[in-house]
Chains A and B, each alone.
Chain A
């Protein structure tokens, strides 16, 4: 449960922000879902989201989520073997609702993040490591604010486009958390550039549809100038 004095705060990198916004813009008529990668500082309760993998643009089912998490975990293991970096892990889930006016996370996203929490606590129980990934966070994109950002109708602050949620007293992920985007202006410019150049974000379902040789876009493949 969330102790108000020790509430998590979330920092997302501009690449992650750009990926989430571009993923939503690539599939404007459906809900989107993806996995968040990063690390958690237990002493400061800060969750640093450094990478993200888009998963689907539909309502995900158990086999899809299980396979996606297995692939992401395997990718992390590969990176950790290569770079000898053991800090990054799955820290949460992101989603954008299907309808323009919807602001709350849907029941599917809430079930997925609860499943992530259960899996993470099982791993922590069995792991001998002293570090833990803690409770996952849920990021929800605000479609209306994002439309204003892409239309450049008013000065939109990037951190207003995304709302972070943590676990509340009812054990649901409906407790709003503080969120900042590092390099806000860079993030906004990157999103506008991606949208204007009509760059498509290939999520896992797109990657499977187009064949094994196609790309599975992740935040680390997006460059912020």
Chain B
């Protein structure tokens, strides 16, 4: 039985196979080979062993589900199929509960949980049409089924289009992701995926909006601030250059050793000076320009310090020339 002081190595050493599976599940680790090794030690090579070491069907079903997902992760479709067969057979047709379990805890064959697993196996076997049909059926029964929405987007994102021979049209992919985010507004990973999709389409304003949602969920992530700063700088204009400067400075505040943010600050602060110079607006705050100049100098200093320890003299000289280009024309 897994205790609070146990770790994966001690559980493996003690041959606590069920403990290993539980540990990996609880800590959300991706250790597919270990799961299969300990899963087969627990349930046999053919995963048919129903009595060894397991007290109830719930634990057996959970182990089978975990082994099935691990099997498709390492391309072992035979083992995944065996796990699905075993899960089908453990279904005793008892009362269907909300989690898709029988009274004894085993999975019910046509429950959402079983169908989600089946869908993943179909995807792994490249039967995307079958998987999509399954997810569409699940969504018809429950339009806010988040896993089905998520998997539907993932399939459309990478699927080859039969009509064009290329990839699925982007409007279809965007609609699928919008549908998911409409149901799950707080999913930071979903918003980040939206930002990357928008960036790939060169829709920088859309990407900036999505990254703003990510920052609401992860305000202390330096890389997200840096990325948002870069996107605002790409949009251009005095107003967006100001936002770019602020987010890049925030990124360095959170992680002063981030070289990409150091170069980024140098670039966006310099861009602000260029944009404000050529802007038709007459009320550009001179204080803001002074701040931008100081930020250029700060960025240049930070980059110089970062490259001081480099053993490549060519790289040091290359970086020095770039920094000099940025700083020598500052008034």
A contact set with B: CB distance below 8 Å? 31, 58-59, 61-64, 66-67, 70-71, 74-75, 77-78, 98-104, 106-108, 111, 205, 208-209, 211-213, 216
Contact = CB atoms under 8 A, between A and B. Distances in A.
Contacts of B314: 75, 78
A9 to B, nearest CB: 26
B96 interface: no
A111 B202 contact: yes
Interface in B259-311: 259-260, 263-264, 266-268, 271, 306-311
A71 B259 CA distance: 14
Contacts of A101: 160, 165-167
Interface of B: 158, 160, 165-167, 196, 199-202, 204, 227, 229-231, 233-234, 236, 244, 258-260, 263-264, 266-268, 271, 306-312, 314-315, 317-319, 321-322, 325
A107 B234 CA distance: 14
Contacts of B315: 212, 216
A102 B167 contact: yes
Given A62-B230, A108-B199, A208-B260, 17 more contacts: A58-B196, A62-B236, A62-B271, A63-B229, A63-B244, A71-B318, A71-B319, A75-B318, A78-B321, A99-B158, A102-B167, A103-B166, A104-B166, A107-B200, A208-B258, A211-B259, A213-B310
Nearest to B196: A59
Nearest to A63: B267
Task: List the 5 shortest-distance A-B pairs measured between CB atoms, nearest first.
Answer: A61-B230, A59-B199, A62-B234, A107-B202, A63-B267
A85 to B, nearest CB: 15
A63 B264 contact: yes
Contacts of A66: 267
B166 A102 contact: yes
Contact of B309 (A74, A208, A209, A213): A213
A212 B310 contact: yes
Contacts of A108: 199-200, 202
A159 B164 CA distance: 25
Given A62-B230, A67-B263, A67-B267, A78 B318 contact: yes
A63 B233 contact: yes
B57 to A, nearest CB: 38
A107 B206 CA distance: 15
A37 to B, nearest CB: 14
A190 to B, nearest CB: 24
A63 B247 CA distance: 13
Given A78-B318, A101-B160, A212 B202 contact: no
Given A66-B267, A67-B267, A212-B310, A74 B322 contact: yes
A213 B230 contact: no
A212 B309 contact: yes
Nearest to A205: B260
